[in-house]
Structure 1
Amino acid sequence: MYIYTIGYEGLSQKVFLAWLNRYDINVIADVRHLPLSRKKGFSKNSLNELLAKNNIEYLSFRELGTSKEMRSKLLSSGDYTNFFKKYKDTLSKRTEQINKLCEILNSGKRIALLCFEHDAQKCHRKILADEIKKIDGNGLEVKHIKPF
């Protein structure tokens, strides 16, 4: 069983959907703190509508996003090590949301964690996916969908 992650940076809606279909994703868990986007079609309501038309469930997990303060510090410092450490620390207060994601996974649904950043190695969704894997404890594997 896998938990997938995907970033929509640089993707059109059409290409984004093609990748979700390629991996047979049927639930998108939006883990952006602020589920809005300057990129047309990727704000919460537009994305929810698009996914619903394609039989993909949309769920928002804002609490699992990174705060504006954390993102601002990362932008000014470029210190990903500290950013990821602080984010991991916040996850200890988010067990309800993480357990909900584990429940969805264990129901047999194929879920992808969604954020903007195309490179999972530079995104909090990598840390979140690893934490879900650890908590789930059922041999879950993390797969980062890399469209390019």
Structure 2
Amino acid sequence: MQCEDGSAARMSVGQEHRLAHSSLHRIGTIGYQGRDIAEFIEVLAAAGVTLVVDVRENAVSRIRGFSKRKLHEALAESGISYEHLKELGNPKENRAALRSGDERAVRFFDNRLLADGAEDLKHLKQVLRNEHVALLCFERDHRTCHRSLIARALQTEDRALRVTNL
């Protein structure tokens, strides 16, 4: 940075940290339930998302445009990258209980995240340094979806991370 007279401006370490992280120190979560692919992409673009991280265990859908290949293609046409992190998915046998708020299902997923999902979670932390990420799953309401637990796990390690539910 420069001052008006051309000399170098000095910034505190805190100012440098805030500047470096102000635009990228955030994560979104989004569900496609009740949305078509055009609306979905419009929401992502409006939020400035640069990368969709698919956290479905199986990246398939009966809803047109939301299976892995088609979704990847549609996002690419809009300049948004796509990545599937399967190990961050919630197993089928845990989904209904998690949706209903069962604490055992939450603990089961948290334990799975620490064990099976540890490498994918580590990768996601790295990606967040350079991308504005949106975690993708089916449920429109983030409170009934495991993606909110992934975001919470990330915030546990980094309290400054801002989570936006799109």
- Please tell me whether residue 58 in structure 1 is matched to residue 92 in structure 2: no
Cα shift readout 1:17-54 (whole Å, capped 9, x = no counterpart): 11001101010000000110010000001000101111
Give percent identity, aligned residues only: 33
Q: Secondary structure at the match of 1:106?
A: coil
The structure-2 alpha-carbon separation of the partners of 1:71 and 1:138, relative to structure 1 and needing over 3 Å to count, comes to: closer
Q: Which of the numbers 119, 123, 131 marks the counterpart of 1:96?
A: 119
How many angstroms apart in 1 are the aligned matches of 2:67 and 2:155? 27
Contact 1:36 1:44 in 2 (8 A): yes
- Aligned residue in 2 for 1:142: 163
State the 1:71 CA deviation.
2.4
The amino acid across from 1:101 in the alignment is L
Q: Distance in 2 between matches of 1:138 and 1:118?
A: 25
Instruction: Tell me the TM-score normalised to structure 2 length.
Output: 0.80
Q: Which runs of 4+ in 1 moved over 4 A?
A: none
Runs of 5+ consecutive residues of structure 1 not aligned to the other structure: none
- On the 8 A contact 1:6/1:114 being kept in 2, the answer is yes
In angstroms, what is the RMSD of aligned CA positions?
Answer: 1.6
* Greater C-alpha Rg: 2
Residues 1:37 and 2:61 are matched in the alignment:
yes
Structure 2 distance, partners of 1:142, 1:84, is 19
Match of 2:58, as an amino acid?
L
For 1:92, what is the secondary structure of its paired residue?
helix
Higher RCO (CA < 8 A, seq sep 6+): 1
CA displacement at 1:112 relative to structure 2:
0.3
